[in-house]
Structure 1
Amino acid sequence: MTETTENKDLVQEENVVTEETVEEQAELTVEEQYEAQIAELQAKLDDEENRHLRLRADFDNLRRRQQLDREAAEKYRAQSLLTDLLPVLDNFERALQVETTSEETASIVKGIEMVYRSLIEATEREGLQVIQAEGQPFDPNVHQAVMQEQDSEKEAGTVVRELQKGYLLKDRVLRPSMVSVNE
């Protein structure tokens, strides 16, 4: 009986050990499950934070672009009007080149000159500038070469004559100068 009792005691101890091990494993499994859930939630949180940061950066970029667009629109708001007025300025300049033969035509030319100066002052206040051409080196960004001439007194590539005035609005070319360039 002793052996049987000892065997029973051993079996009972093994059962107790096995039950404790199962409980420990169950506890570890629950802990591991919690850790897995925590890791999963942390990954989701990180993803959402990254998404939030990207959205915020996109929003900041959009706001910056809109601000630049508003500034450009404000800066060049008169572009359309000034472009439409360029032929009017050309016609005034042609009218002022007419020679006067009588006092009556001289007074008309004087009136035209006064209107022309007022118009030039108003356009200059909006940022319109005349492109300097004659005697300047040819610049394809602001000059449009329509002819070439031979002039030994000037360097090659220099504008000899301005055929039509060019204009800038602040830093933007509204109309390039039509010029004749020295060969």
Structure 2
Amino acid sequence: MSEEKQTAEQVETEEQEEMAEQAVTEEQHDETAAEDEALQQQIQELQGLLDEKENKLLRVQADFENYKRRNRLEMEAAQKYRSQSIVTEILPALDNFERALQVDAESEQTKSLLQGMEMVRRQLMEALKKEGVEAIEAVGQEFDPNLHQAVMQVEDENFGSSIVVEEMQKGYKLKDRVIRPSMVKVNQ
């Protein structure tokens, strides 16, 4: 029995060793699983940070593109309407030229002076026209509050309702922008 006992002890020792190895393997497996889980969690955190940074980058790029577009549009508008302030300053002088030209000339000297004034007025209008300034047509047109400023209402059978009867002060546009609306009398 001693041999059997030894064999049984040997088998039992081997089983114990196998169980110990299995326990160590399971322990290592548990440690590896815990490490894997920790690594997966780190990967998810890093992926979240990366996604957040990518979103911020995309927003910054979009903001910059919007800034460039707004800046370009402002530059185009500034270029398009660059002469608006000088035109606004010149309009009262142009009004005075037109009032002066309405004087009846009795002498040759006055007629000559009026001709000179008319030439200057024409040159001034040509220069303004090159910049994109044009007079707003008013008399006979339907009243448009975007182009005309009504200062009086009259009753005139020769004109239809809401038609401009008389222009009291010329209005002007610079390209597509009204610089000064026409002051008009409107038929009721």
Q: Shared fold (TM-score greater than 0.5)?
A: yes
Structure-1 residue corresponding to 2:156: 151
- What residue in structure 2 maps to residue 25 of structure 1? 30
Q: What is the CA distance between 1:5 and its match in structure 2?
A: 6.2
Separation (CA, whole Å) in 1 of partners of 2:20 and 2:76? 83
Please list, as runs of the form range in 1=range in 2, the aligned pairs for 1:36-115 lying within 5 A after superposition: 36-115=41-120
Any idea what SS the aligned residue of 1:68 has?
A: helix
Q: Secondary structure at the match of 1:27?
A: helix
Which of 127, 133, 142 in structure 2 is aligned with 1:137?
142
Give the equivalent residue in structure 1 for 2:132.
127
Secondary structure of 1:134's partner? Answer: coil
User: 2: CA distance between counterparts of 1:47 and 1:100?
Assistant: 81
CA distance in 2, matches of 1:98, 1:142: 28
Q: What is the TM-score with the length of structure 1 in the denominator?
A: 0.94
The AA in structure 1 aligned to 2:30 is Q
AA aligned opposite 1:91: N
State the aligned residue count: 183
User: In terms of Rg, which structure is larger?
Assistant: 2
Structure 2 unaligned regions, length at least 5: none
What residue in structure 2 maps to residue 174 of structure 1? 179
Shift of residue 6, structure 1, vs aligned partner: 5.9
* Distance in 1 (alpha carbons) for counterparts of 2:23 and 2:166: 107
TM-score, normalized by length of structure 2? 0.91
Q: Distance in 1 between matches of 2:143 and 2:111?
A: 37
Deviations 1:108-132 (A, max 9, x none): 1111111110100001111111000
Residue aligned with 1:160, SS: strand
Q: 1:29, CA displacement in angstroms?
A: 1.8
- List per-residue Cα deviations over 1:73-110 (Å, max 9, x = no partner): 00000000000111001000001101111111111111
RMSD: 1.5
Identity of matched residues, %: 49
Instruction: Name which of structure 1's ranges 136-145 and 45-54 shifts more when overlaid on structure 2.
Output: 45-54
